[in-house]
Amino acid sequence: MQAFKQKIRVEHNSIRINLPSFFNHKSVEVIVLPLSEQLPFQRSKEERLNALLSIGTWTAEDIQPILNTQQMMNQWKMESF
């Protein structure tokens, strides 16, 4: 199945779509969906950086139980089969 996707601005309640030639003389289905939010690649560099920095970070207190568990597991003896 071949697909074609294009973002178009609606003017006067209509759109015009120029399709690639492989759709010529074929029946097609057209689905129109509104663009509800700005796509990540359309955001400015500053907006993307702020979004990235808004993610929570771990403190040393958060990481210590993981390190303790890792250290304990490294002391386990593995028996040969």
Give pLDDT tens digits for 46-78: 888 888 888 887 888 888 999 999 999 998 888
2: Cβ contacts below 8 Å, ≥ 6 apart: 22, 23
16: Cβ contacts below 8 Å, ≥ 6 apart: 8
Residue 75 tokens, joined: 């002391």
The overall average pLDDT reported for the chain is: 85
- For the stretch 26-53, pLDDT in tens is 999 999 888 766 666 677 888 888 888 8
pLDDT at 67: 92
